[in-house]
Structures are given as C-alpha cells and as structure tokens.
Amino acid sequence: MKDKKILAVAAHADDLDFGCAGSIAAWADEGAEIHYLILTDGSKGSEDMEITNDELAKMRVEEQKNAAEILGVKKVHFGGFTDGELQNTPEVRYKIVKLIRELKPDVVVTTDPTFIYNEEFGFINHPDHRNAGQATLDSVFPFARNSRTFPDLLEQGLKPHSVLEILLVNFIKGSYYVDISKTFDRKIEALKKHASQIGDVDSFKERMKERAQMLGKKNDYELAETFVRIQLRG
C-alpha cells in the first residue's frame, strides 16, 4: 500500500478499529494516506441511560479521533446519520460519493454487506454495518464514476473518480490477508480509546489474538486480518 490513498468507510466509530485496525496501522507505516468516513453519529451505542444521545455522540467522535491518531490515520470524516437507522439511500451515497471524488482514493475499505450472521461464533451482524457496506459498494460503482449522478458535484468541480480496488472487512472469509504481527498491539491500544463501547479490552485480547493467529497460519504470518478483495476494471 506504499504511497496509496485509502478511504475506509463504516457505520460506527469503532467498526474499522475492531475489523481492520492492524491493517490500517500497517498500511500507514508503509506510507499510505488513510482517511476514515464514519457514517452514523453513534448515538445509540450504549445501554447507559444516564448519558444523553448528544453526549454519547460527542464522546464517540473524540474516541474515534484518538484511536485513529494511534493508527496513523490522516483524518476522520463524519457523516452524522442517525445511529441504528442507516439505510442505503441517495443521501448516504451522496456523502460517500462526494468524499470519493474529493479524495480520489486508490483503495476503498468497507464492511462486507453479505456478512449477515455466523452460527459458529453466535454472531449477528448489525444492519448498519451491512447497509454501510452496500451503500459504499454502490457509491464506488457506479455512482462515483458516473458523470450524471449528483450533477451538483460537477458544479463544485468534483469530477468522477474510478476506484480500482475494494477491500471488504470479513473476519470469517477472505481472499486477501494482511500481516499484522507488528501492529496488533497498536490495534489493541486503539480499541482502548473506545471507552464508551469497551470495558476491559484485555478480557477479549486473547480471543482476538487467537483469531488473528488462525488467519495468519494460512499465509505463514504470526497474526493476520483478512478481507474480500475486489479489483475493478477502469
């Protein structure tokens, strides 16, 4: 990823750091310029009823900025859509398309919209995660590269841009593996910044390490993260 520009898009403030923070840190170390786009305000992400939605949203913005700094992310952008209500709408796609045309990324990273559940891990994927992934895929193709989509962006001088590589975060299956042996500890440190979401990070650190070891064995890495890789034609 040396000298490449990467845009990573997700629904919530901690999604990318759980899913691929080790890779983000590794790419930053290689010289990539990395941007985050967090689509929702995170205002529903707590069962603590002593805190207001607005207070929680502000807290999560700061948590994500602090986590991103540890990983080497250049800037975090926020969509501000209501947490728990994210849909693949023109308004959401507009936000993503506009940033794609502004940044002109080589690679877009997002959550895999086909990852709905996994019975082995007793896991149901949040609908915001799936909708964020689908909206991002649709924004990459066809809308970011289509001149007639969102014509006011052309008036703003934002010309179509063709992203040629997409990486979908999916910790169950993947076709593209990243060695995070040197950056796993930074992933954990970044996750610790999401204090509103995570109580004791160390309590599940070993579980995350075991999963990374399992993925790493497939490529002779000590620790790895995995993605579904889509290479598009220009």
H helices present in 72-149, as ranges = 90-103, 127-140
Q: Tokens at residue 232, please?
A: 């598009």
> What is the reported pLDDT for 45?
79
What is the pTM for the complete model shown? Answer: 0.95
**Contact, 91 vs 134, CB < 8 A?**
no
Residue ranges of the chain whose pLDDT lies below 50: none
Domains by residue range for the chain, with CATH: 5-231 (3.40.50.10320)
> What is the reported pLDDT for 198?
81
**Which amino acid is it at 121?**
F
* Pairing between β-strand 75-81 and β-strand 123-124 as defined by DSSP bridges: unpaired
> What is the reported pLDDT for 63?
96
Contacting residues for 64 by C-beta, under 8 A, at least 6 apart: 13, 14, 17, 36, 38, 76, 193, 194
Closest CA to 180 of 14, 11, 13, 21: 21
- Omega prior to 142 cis, within 30 of 0: yes
> What is the reported pLDDT for 81?
98
